[in-house]
């Protein structure tokens, strides 16, 4: 890196010449953090390279823009509920906001006992109340099946070709509206590998009481979810770009409409 810096970065004419040979001399639009940005292939070459690297990482291309957007809607007095928290990419990242704004509550629920053990390492120090629970439409237990990586851990009923049917375990499950969740302005993040409608049904009392401010779904397969959210007065946005949508997107941010603003899109 020192050689590159000394013989390339610090020689602007050579750097421009080589970059022009590789990239041309043009303006173009790139996608960064969910935004479309106009750059010049030479003058902003670093951003061009970054956009290509981001495309090869689901964390950078999908989750990071969503985290930024969720941070933008969290306010003092809100409660962030991370359902399917995995190791805490969303809840532990956003919980840092309480170093500046101390009035936001954080809950994290992870069904996989092994993954939960890693989530719990740093949750308490950041004020995140973490529990090794599956959130569903009933209180009891659910049978889960593992895969090669932790994020494909799912119920037996939602198993896919990525699942290892020989690695099963039973996990306690609870309805969200049966738990002692503090606050009257809840932001739900849901990433549960096919159990999304069950999670929402198990939070029906919270929806009816008007306590849900927003719902972010990191993938969902049951389109009945859209009707459920519309019924409760939510408007739909693409979770990474915040473009208004009618539904049918992988990354869905549903935000409760203000009274008198009319029904959700679609």
39-75: pLDDT as tens digits: 999 999 999 999 999 999 989 999 999 999 999 999 9
Confidence of residue 6 (pLDDT cuts 50, 70, 90): low
Confidence of residue 164 (pLDDT cuts 50, 70, 90): confident
Whether the CB-CB separation of 228 and 197 falls below 8 Å is answered with yes
User: Domain limits of the chain?
Assistant: 2-55, 58-256
Fold of 58-256: Rossmann fold (3.40.50)
User: Is the pLDDT assigned to residue 264 strictly greater than 60?
Assistant: no
User: Is the pLDDT assigned to residue 87 strictly greater than 90?
Assistant: yes
Cα–chain center distance at 197: 17
3-state secondary structure of 39: strand
234-247: pLDDT as tens digits: 999 999 999 999 99
Pairing label, strands 212-218, 251-256: antiparallel
Of 155-159, 170-174, 222-226, 239-243, which gets the smallest average pLDDT?
155-159
What single string gives the DSSP state of each residue in 113-128?
HHHHHHHHHHHGGGTE
Of 13-22, 31-40, 234-243, 247-256, which gets the smallest average pLDDT?
13-22
Of 85-89, 150-154, 174-178, 195-199, which gets the smallest average pLDDT?
150-154
């Amino acid at each position: 890196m020192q050689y590159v810096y000394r013989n390339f970065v610090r020689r602007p004419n050579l750097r421009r010449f080589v970059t022009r040979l590789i990239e041309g001399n043009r303006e173009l639009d790139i996608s960064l953090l969910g935004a479309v940005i106009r750059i010049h292939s030479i003058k902003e070459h670093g951003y061009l390279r970054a956009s290509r690297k981001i495309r090869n990482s689901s964390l950078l291309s999908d989750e990071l823009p969503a985290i930024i957007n969720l941070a933008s809607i969290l306010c003092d007095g809100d409660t962030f509920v991370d359902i399917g928290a995995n190791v805490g990419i969303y809840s532990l990242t956003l919980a840092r906001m309480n170093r500046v704004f101390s009035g936001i509550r954080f809950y994290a629920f992870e069904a996989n006992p092994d993954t939960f053990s890693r989530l719990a390492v740093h949750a308490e120090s950041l004020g995140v109340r973490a529990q090794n629970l599956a959130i569903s439409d009933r209180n009891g237990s659910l049978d889960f099946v593992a895969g090669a990586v932790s994020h494909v851990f799912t119920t037996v009923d939602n198993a896919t070709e990525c699942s290892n049917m020989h690695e099963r375990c039973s996990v306690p499950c609870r309805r969200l509206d049966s738990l002692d969740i503090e606050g009257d302005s809840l932001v739900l993040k849901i990433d549960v590998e096919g159990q999304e409608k069950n999670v929402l049904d198990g939070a029906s009392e919270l929806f009816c009481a008007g306590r849900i401010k927003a719902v972010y779904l990191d993938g969902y397969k049951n389109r009945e979810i859209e009707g459920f959210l519309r019924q409760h007065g939510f408007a739909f946005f693409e979770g990474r770009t915040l473009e208004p949508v009618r539904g049918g997107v992988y990354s869905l941010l549903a935000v409760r409409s203000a009274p008198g603003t009319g029904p959700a899109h679609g």
